[in-house]
Amino acid sequence: MTENSELRGELLKYVAGAEVPNTKFSNSNLSNKSFNFEHFSLPIGYYKVFTDRVKFNVEHLVGNEEIDGINKPLMKDIIKYRHFVDEGQWGMFRNKIGPIRYKKFTKAMARTNLETIDAKVSIDLKRILRLPSSLHSKVSMKCMEVKNRETFDPFKEAVPKFVYERK
């Protein structure tokens, strides 16, 4: 990839669903009218990526999370009405929590999606090109998939045996 890190960062945000998609469209051919489409009403491209990521987040909420931009009453309503999201009835979900609160919700979900990625690592060419089980050239730690970041201990799981044996 020969493009600069800024472009790679934009690509990363796209894949992670880290920006609320544009919902306002104008058409100069139809007397300059503008149209609003929510992300869930356009099941293609980035709109689908964002919708799928938000759905994943909603399905995995427990209710006690502290998410910037989502207060306790909004979190309670998200949990209460998430069955609409499971059923693909985003419009009903939006109506139940309210359009203003829905806008806050989507912004918070975009920020949450951005927090799940390590942008500095992901846009650096030296790091992005490492394959699983390859070793870091300076510290000899293995590149590996982290299945549970709460329990992952890099010093136990990512350090090969030979590093301890050579001491």
Domains, the chain, ranges and CATH?
Answer: 5-115 (1.10.8), 130-165 (no CATH)
* pLDDT given at position 122: 57
Taking Cα atoms as reference points, which of 59, 61, 88 lies closest to residue 76? 61
Distance of alpha carbon 104 from alpha carbon 84, whole angstroms: 18
Q: Which of 16-20, 27-31, 126-130 has the lowest mean pLDDT?
A: 126-130
Return the structure tokens found at 122. 């992901």
Task: Say how many C-beta atoms besides its own lie within 10 A of residue 89's C-beta.
Answer: 15
Averaged pLDDT, 135-141: 78
Averaged pLDDT, 67-86: 95
Return the structure tokens found at 7. 């472009």
- Tell me the pTM: 0.67
* pLDDT given at position 115: 85
pLDDT digits (tens, 9 = 90+) for 148-162: 878 888 888 888 887
Residues 97, 78 contacting (CB under 8 angstroms): yes
113: Cα within 13 Å, side-chain hemisphere: 25
Averaged pLDDT, 98-122: 85
Comparing 132 with 108, which gets the higher pLDDT? 108
Angle between helices 45-59 and 99-115 (to 10 degrees): 90
Residues 77, 99 contacting (CB under 8 angstroms): no
Whether the predicted pLDDT of 167 surpasses 60? no
Residues 143, 130 contacting (CB under 8 angstroms): yes
Taking Cα atoms as reference points, which of 153, 67, 145 lies closest to residue 113? 67
Taking Cα atoms as reference points, which of 147, 121, 165 lies closest to residue 157? 147
Averaged pLDDT, 76-98: 95
b/e map 24-34, b = 16+ CB within 10 Å: eeeeeeeeeee
